[in-house]
Structures are given as structure tokens and as C-alpha cells.
Structure 1
Amino acid sequence: MRGTSSGGGPERRIRGAFADAQVTGWLHAIDIDSGNEVAVGAETLVSTASVHKLCLAVTVQRLADAGRLDPAERLEIGISERTAGLTGLSMLRDPVAMSLRDLLALALTVSDNASADVLLERVGVDAVNTAMRQLGLGNTVAVHTTRELIDSITEDCDGDESLLQLDPGVLTRLRVLDPLRTNRSTPREMTSLLGALWRDEACSPERAEELRRILSLQVWPHRLASGFPFDDVRVAGKTGTLPTLRGEVGVVDYPDGGRYAVAVFTRAARTAVRQPAADAVIGTSARFAVDHLRALRSPA
């Protein structure tokens, strides 16, 4: 039997946690097997930032299933064509040759912008949107590459990104903060995508397992995973970050077989790059939601 919690106990705690962290937040959590859920603004369109790399990853696997690309295909990636970033190929100084599946691993585990854009140029934005529509995710839309996203921020800051820290009014000009003009989804559609992936519905079982394994190797522990500091609980997820925006979507697997898809997106009023409370509340709010869903699974 499916139960929806909307406005009662866990929602009050989650909204209170968002308020304490001085963010606006949106959350959807669902028991993948029972369908019980917790929703706080779950239908709200949000800018997905690097969370959208999960949509790209699913698309790559679906195309591989259809025989339209070979995951072992190797590409030469020069220096000048790489998208800027702090991790993976983005930070390397020499030419690299790498397979599509290894690029996929870097895009998910360390959120490498260069790897993601090489893959996106290989498959095309239209293919990502087609895959999402085929999965019934009509509000999950890819608009541009990561390079184009970064370039738009620079353009909207008139070439001086330091203005983001000095003049909060600049934020109103950033297209990437407007879900209607950037890569977007909703918390509910993100958990739907995760649920399909964990049920082997998003792609073939073999390729779904590969994505689940890679997502469990994500290196960032300070958001979703921070709410579940247990050695026997596995958290697999993908983060996303933009000025004032932080988010993560993922699945929390318990040793008793319980598995819960969670999507949390937040927006802060402050423009500071480092906001530990805004990061931590993603884990805190997810824990409140999952604890409630686990209580619903317990026998009376």
C-alpha cells in the first residue's frame, strides 16, 4: 500500500531543518519497493547543475544497450577542448586517451566537467532529452553543456565572477538559476529516475548495476551521505552545485533490504562559496525522510 506524507510530521522537521540552515529547500524521498513517500515541494522545477550528469549517464547506458555506441570506444581528448573544472580531466595538463565508460566514471564520481562534456558531445543533448521522455520524465530537460553553462555565468557577470561575492544583485541575472533557462528537473522526477535505475528499468540490468556501483563511489561525503554515517548503510549519489544552489540525488541502501531514493535541492540567500550548514542539511533532511519511510516498513 502506498502512503504519502505531505505536511505532517517529517515535513515539519524537514522544513524546520531548512529554516535552521537558512536555505529554501525542496525534497522528495520514496521507498523504492513500497512507494511510500515524503514530499516537500517535490513538484518544483529546480536547476539541476551537475546532478544532470546522472541523466547523461543513463542515456549513455541506454544507447549502449541499443548498440548505438560502444562503451569501450576510446577518444583522444586534447587540452584546448576540455571544459574547465576542478577535478578529473578538467585539471590535467596533457592530452589523454580514454574510453567512454571511463569518462562516465569520472563524470559521476568526481563530477568531472570535461569528461561529461566529451560524452554529451558524443551523444547529443537531444538524445538525453529523448531518453528522459521515454522514461516518462517530461520535466527533466537538458538545455546546454557544462561549458555553455559556465560561459553563461561569465557572460551574466559581465566577465567578472567576483561580482557574485560583492553584489548579490548579480544573482538575479544568472540564467543558470532560472530552471526555465537551464538544465532542470523536479525532486520527484529525480527519484523516479533513481527508482527506475535501481529496479533495472532505466537500462539493462548489467548496465544499471554498473551505474549503481559508480554512483556508490562518489567522493563527496558532506551532503547526502553525511546523514547516514553507518558502515553497513550504502549511499550512492550525484551532487550538483551552482552559486547559492546545492543539491544531491541518490539512493540509501540498508542491510535489511530497504532502499530509498532521495532528491534534495536547496537555495541559500548568502553567496558564500563555503556554506557547511547548507551542505549538511541535505543529509539531515534526507535522514528525517528516510527514518519516516523506514518506520512505515516496520511491523506494527
Structure 2
Amino acid sequence: MRTDTPDRIRAAFADAGVTGRLHALDIDSGDRLGVGPDEPVCTASVHKLPLLVALHERAAAGHLDLTERIDCPPDGRTPGPTGLAAMLDAARLSVRDLAYLMMAVSDNAAADLLLARVGLDAVNRTTARLGLEATHAVHTFGAMMASIKEDAGPAGAQALTDPHVIGRLRALDPARSNRSTPRDLTRLLAAVWRDEAATPEHGAAIRRLMGLQVWPHRLASGFPFDDVHVAGKTGSLPTLRAEAGVVEYPDGGRYAVAVFTRTAQTAATLPAADAVIGTAARIAVDALRAG
């Protein structure tokens, strides 16, 4: 493995105008590399992955039925730009279809409906069982969004262009928000892909949902090949962009990667900051494959 790989990853982050944290793991050999892999990070919507694992753990134990239908009234839905969060009318969906919306389009409303069924404590028991000591669910996704609104103050979303306001957001403080580390997240992904996090049946269901994510602009952008499969979960907050996922090659190679970035720029759209997640992941995976 090239000894300069961490420096190349840091240079890619710098060129994109971000600071970054990364961990990459060969799921089968155990080879790994990282850049700040043990630094706490706010997980944002990446924490929907531990929720999904906890959901399937409870289903496997017979505590819930994935085909159970849940009413989704429009009043009181957790806000967000996708899925049920953006819909106007009442709906009734199965647990597993809510999980699809949560993972495929990062639907906050679907996530909180599932979290109400599973519970924060169950999510934390799941991560503890898997030895993820730095991973902890503190609040619902609705509570996270409400804290951003409260911390932004009366100016609302417009205030989120002010670096001083960004600096006081509790949602961006790992001590006060849902949190993990890049290393913990690759351990979780490896456990899912090795059927250690859930039974083979439920592990396959988790992997299927992660493979249906619609966002190609972060992790997947680093692997633009028809025969390479990328399954992941993104996370976004003001100045924070992240993704954790698994890259699978046709020769059987499987690599778990978690990348978290922060930028001083407050713009919601920063293509370079999105793309460097794929770039950094590709550098790391290429190094692991080279041995």
C-alpha cells in the first residue's frame, strides 16, 4: 500500500476547500487506512443506517412485522425536502416501505415514524452490541431539525449563511448531536456485509435498501463503472457533507468507506465538496486494492 495515500487524500480535501475525515476498510482482509478516522463527527442522516440495522434486528427477534402498515398523517410530519416529508396528503405505508424512503431519498418523516416504532434506546443497544463505542443516537431527526431552526433565530434559513450562526448550531456539535466516527461506521458496514449485524435474510434486506439510494454525486461519483456497485447513505447539514457506504468490485473485493467533510462556505450547493467524497474514497480503495 502506498505510504503517501493519507497525504493524497488530505490534498484532495484541500483542493476542494474542505476539511475531511475518512476511514476505508477491506471487508474481507481487514486492511484499512484513515485520515482522522477516530475523530467524532455529527452523523446527520447517516444515522439512518444504525436505525435501519436496529429495525431489522427487532424484526428478526419478532418484535415487529416489516409488513405492518403505519398511518402517516400530514400534520406533525418531520420536515424535509424528500419523500413523505415533502408530501401533502395522508398516506399509509408498510414498515419496510418507510425504510425504503428513509434510505433511498433520506426521508426524515419516514425515519422518525420508524424511530417512533423502534426507539432511540434500541438504536443505541444495537450499536453497543456491535462494539461501536463512539456511536450514539441522541435525538430524533425532527428534534435535530428543530434545533437548527431554534439556533438560527428569527432570521430563519437566511441566517444559515452567517458563519457565526453556523458556529452555534447544536446539530453540528458531536457532543450534542447524533454522532459516530468514520472507523465506527466502516465497522458497522462490514458487520452488515458479513451478516454479523443481522441474520442473512435481514442483512440482505439492509444491503438491498442501501443499494437503492438515488444520490450519485458523492461516494458513487468516484466509481463510475457499470460493473462496480456502490451502496451508501448520505448525510447533510449546513457546511457538512458525508457518506458511508460499501464499494463492491466484480472480482469480489468489498470495501467499506466513510467520508465526512466540513467547509467554511455556507452555500447549500458546492459541487466540489460533494465530488471530493467520491475522489477521496477512490484514492483509499485503490490503495487497499493495490495492497
Question: Normalising by structure 2, what TM-score?
Answer: 0.98
Structure 1 match to 2:157: 161
Report deviation, 1:146: 0.8
1:13 maps to 2:21:
no
CA distance in 2, matches of 1:275, 1:101: 33
1:175-196 CA deviation, whole Å, 9 max, x = no partner? 0110010000000000000000
Structure 2 match to 1:285: 280
Aligned to 1:27, the other structure's residue is in SS state strand
Of residues 96, 99, 107, the one that matches 1:104 is 99
Of residues 255, 259, 267, the one that matches 2:262 is 267
Which letter does structure 1 place at the counterpart of 2:80?
G
Aligned to 2:12, the other structure's residue is in SS state helix
CA distance in 1, matches of 2:127, 2:142: 21
Which letter does structure 1 place at the counterpart of 2:215?
W
CA distance in 1, matches of 2:129, 2:88: 39
CA distance in 1, matches of 2:264, 2:233: 23
Aligned to 1:50, the other structure's residue is in SS state helix
Q: How many residues align?
A: 290
CA distance in 1, matches of 2:211, 2:40: 26
Structure 2 match to 1:113: 108
Of residues 181, 200, 211, the one that matches 2:206 is 211
Cα-Cα RMSD:
0.9
Which letter does structure 2 place at the counterpart of 1:274?
T
Structure 1 match to 2:21: 26
CA distance in 1, matches of 2:157, 2:38: 31
1:69 maps to 2:56:
no
Which letter does structure 2 place at the counterpart of 1:211?
I
Report deviation, 1:118: 0.1
Q: Gapped runs of 5+ residues in structure 1?
A: none
Report deviation, 1:158: 1.0
Report deviation, 1:81: 2.2
Report deviation, 1:171: 1.1
CA distance in 2, matches of 1:168, 1:44: 22
Which letter does structure 2 place at the counterpart of 1:231?
D
1:192 maps to 2:159:
no
CA distance in 2, matches of 1:269, 1:245: 10
CA distance in 1, matches of 2:99, 2:217: 22
CA distance in 1, matches of 2:146, 2:269: 22
Structure 1 match to 2:225: 230
Report deviation, 1:31: 0.3
CA distance in 2, matches of 1:34, 1:150: 39
1:117-140 CA deviation, whole Å, 9 max, x = no partner? 000011111110011101111111
Structure 2 match to 1:45: 40
Which letter does structure 2 place at the counterpart of 1:242?
L
Structure 1 match to 2:134: 139
1:116-168 CA deviation, whole Å, 9 max, x = no partner? 00000111111100111011111110011111000000100113221111x21
CA distance in 1, matches of 2:206, 2:196: 13
Structure 2 match to 1:93: 88
Of residues 276, 279, 294, the one that matches 2:289 is 294
Aligned to 2:113, the other structure's residue is in SS state helix
1:178-226 CA deviation, whole Å, 9 max, x = no partner? 0010000000000000000000000010111111111111000000000
CA distance in 1, matches of 2:270, 2:89: 33
Which letter does structure 2 place at the counterpart of 1:269?
A
1:2-58 CA deviation, whole Å, 9 max, x = no partner? x8x8xx311111000000011000000010000111110000000000000001000
Of residues 48, 55, 67, the one that matches 2:50 is 55
CA distance in 2, matches of 1:134, 1:94: 39
Structure 2 match to 1:253: 248
Q: Gapped runs of 5+ residues in structure 2?
A: none
